[in-house]
Amino acid sequence: MKRYTLALAMLTGLMFLTTNSTLASEAEISIRANQGKYKINKEIYGQFAEHLGTCIYGGLWVGKDSPIPNINGYRTDVVEALQRLRVPVLRWPGGCFADDYHWMDGIGPQSERPSMRNNNWGGTVEDNSFGTHEFLNLCELLGCEPYISGNVGSGTVREMAQWVEYMTGTTDTPMGRLRQQNGREKPWHVKYFGIGNEAWGCGGNMTPEYYSNEFRRYNTYLRDQPGNRLYRIASGASDYDYNWTRVLMRAIGRRMDALSVHYYTIKNWGHKGKATAFSDEEYYLTVEKCLDVENVVRRHCQIMDETDPDKRIALFVDEWGTWWDEEPGTVPGHLYQQNSVRDAIVAALMLNVYHKYVERVRMANIAQMVNVLQAMILTDQKDKGHMVLTPTYHVFEMYRDFQEAIHLPLDIQCDSLSTVEGKKVPSISASAARKDDGTMVLSLVNTNLAEKCDLNIQLNATAKEVSGRILTGDHITDFNDFSHTDVVKPQEFKDAKLKKDAMHLTLPPKSIVVLHVK
């Protein structure tokens, strides 16, 4: 096996080390097919839609009178694309926007709703035409669970309690009657409710001790309505803030059903870098930062285990993804970025990590669904509108059969690379699961930009047939746009060969393969 070191040419005077793609490394994977215990919750494939840029307006929602084809105001092309993903849960209205959002501004006749300025994201004027009814009806259209983020930062206990009653209460309650007057008699089912967002930052700049007391106070008045029990989520830490988790676990404990953590793949907040113009060195540093999510998740889990060894409280990674510089010419503060093969690899790697910790990690929400950060879909509103599926969308579509499957542990022996910071990047990532019908789903990622990898896989289970697809590009910087929509898209993968309970295949450089083994 070969090991390579990445070196910055500007520092050493040497060219970045590349290899001919005809060369190959080797790797061994052994799947412990009889040791699967835990289900991969479908909510790990959750989405996030904030009132930010054109995620909502122009992305999900265009209004009933728009020339863009729509279903009661929701973009038809976007809805149909999201339905193919089997979206399990959708978080809304933020993000930072949630702690400036007052829900009563977003109900009643749309023409009579007051406007507001989105102070967090570009100062854009928000007309509140997309509110509670529009969001919950969208969730019903997509067949997914709603996840509401409540306003602790600038809201009140009464306001939040009334919102819960408005959404889930019967019509013999004051808020239930108001909902009925606004056109919805039957209560919605709302399972997931977040008590604040990023309370340590844009959600109030609180200490963990202060937030714990606020959670307990707000939580007291969030009463379950008939037929609807809230799953209560505490505003958790930003990546490496382990003290936040420790304090909340001791001060809130089982009053919460889940604790969140946010993790963005950013090496330098002051210089995030371009989404589609980056060096090989920047790519490998991105992979290293991405994979560090495992250390973060593991440490938060260990801290939670100290007071909750039975793992009754879940860990939700309810914001995650890449974050690059905004595209030139777009509105500052709207966080519109392109999405390349690099982003697809980040998505696949992180999903593989979440699968390993499903005993505790039961939801994850990528940021964000449309037109913002690591989006599934990019849209515009010219003429009748254009839509493009990003490489990240294709990863979520290829991985969808992992939802509700039983995670199978595995062991990997593979080459590693060293980044310019001296950290190791494994060349191969993998995850395996067993569906109800006995089919094994196997995801494989080759992070190496230059070398293909000869993989020998011990399935440790009888296999008769295999099929699969591959996602890659000619270049790691390849992406899809409105003029070139299929530069990066899944293709059939035929290289996997079965032999009794083993399989061999060659994994191309910078590629993602998902196999179904029967």
Instruction: For residue 175, give the CATH number of its domain.
Output: 3.20.20.80
> Does 28 lie in the same domain as 53?
no
Rg (CA), the chain: 23
> Does 382 lie in the same domain as 468?
no
Identify whether 83 is preceded by a cis peptide bond (ω within 30 of 0): no
**List of residues 6+ apart from 376 with CB closer than 8 A:** 47, 81, 82, 85, 366, 369, 370, 389, 390, 392, 393, 396
DSSP per-residue string spanning 39-67: B--GGGGEEE--SSTTSTBTTTB--TT-S
Contact indicator for 402, 431 with CB cutoff of 8 Å: yes
Predicted pLDDT at 5: 33
> Does 175 lie in the same domain as 57?
yes
- For residue 430, the cross-strand partners are 444
How many Å apart are CA 196 and CA 111, to the nearest integer? 29
Predicted pLDDT at 78: 98
**List of residues 6+ apart from 362 with CB closer than 8 A:** 41, 43, 44, 258, 314, 315, 316
> Does 150 lie in the same domain as 20?
no
Tokens of 21: 């793609």
Of 50, 319, 326, 451, the active-site residue reads: 319
CATH number assigned to the domain comprising residue 21:
2.60.40.1180
Residue 452, phi then psi, degrees to nearest 5: -75, 165
Provide the total of helices (H) and of strands (E) in the chain, helices listed first: 11, 28
> Does 60 lie in the same domain as 137?
yes
- Length of the chain in terms of residues written: 518
> Does 246 lie in the same domain as 161?
yes
Contact indicator for 222, 193 with CB cutoff of 8 Å: yes
Which of 351, 373, 407 represents a domain boundary (last residue)? 407
Residue in 288, 360, 370 with CA at minimum distance from that of residue 48 = 370
> Does 372 lie in the same domain as 487?
no
Tokens of 245: 């988790």
Helix (H, G, I), strand (E, B) or coil at 106: helix
Helix (H, G, I), strand (E, B) or coil at 175: helix
- For residue 5, the cross-strand partners are 418
> Does 148 lie in the same domain as 32?
no
> In whole angstroms, what separates CA 76 from the centre of its chain?
22
> Does 416 lie in the same domain as 329?
no
The whole domain housing 508 covers 4-37+408-517
74 membership: H or E segment, kind and range: strand 74-75
Residue in 460, 439, 448, 434 with CA at minimum distance from that of residue 507 = 448
> Does 397 lie in the same domain as 508?
no
Which of 370, 387, 407 represents a domain boundary (last residue)? 407
> Does 441 lie in the same domain as 381?
no
- What's the domain count of the chain? 2
Of 198, 288, 326, 451, the active-site residue reads: 198
Pairing of strands 410-413, 24-31: antiparallel
Cα dihedral value 380, 331, 56, 86, nearest 10: 70
Which of 407, 438, 473 represents a domain boundary (last residue)? 407
Predicted pLDDT at 17: 34
CA dist list (Å): 257 to 250, 253, 319: 14, 9, 18
Is position 198 annotated as part of the catalytic site? yes
How many Å apart are CA 414 and CA 428, to the nearest integer? 6
> Does 441 lie in the same domain as 295?
no
Is position 421 annotated as part of the catalytic site? no
Predicted pLDDT at 11: 27
Chunked into runs of 10 residues, the chain (518 residues) has average pLDDT values of 32 30 82 96 98 97 95 97 98 97 97 94 95 98 98 98 98 97 97 98 97 98 96 96 98 97 95 96 96 97 98 98 96 96 98 98 98 97 88 98 98 88 91 97 97 96 95 98 96 94 96 98
- For residue 264, the cross-strand partners are 321
Contact indicator for 249, 307 with CB cutoff of 8 Å: yes
Predicted pLDDT at 22: 53
Predicted pLDDT at 98: 97
* H-helix segments, 292-340: 293-307
Predicted pLDDT at 148: 98
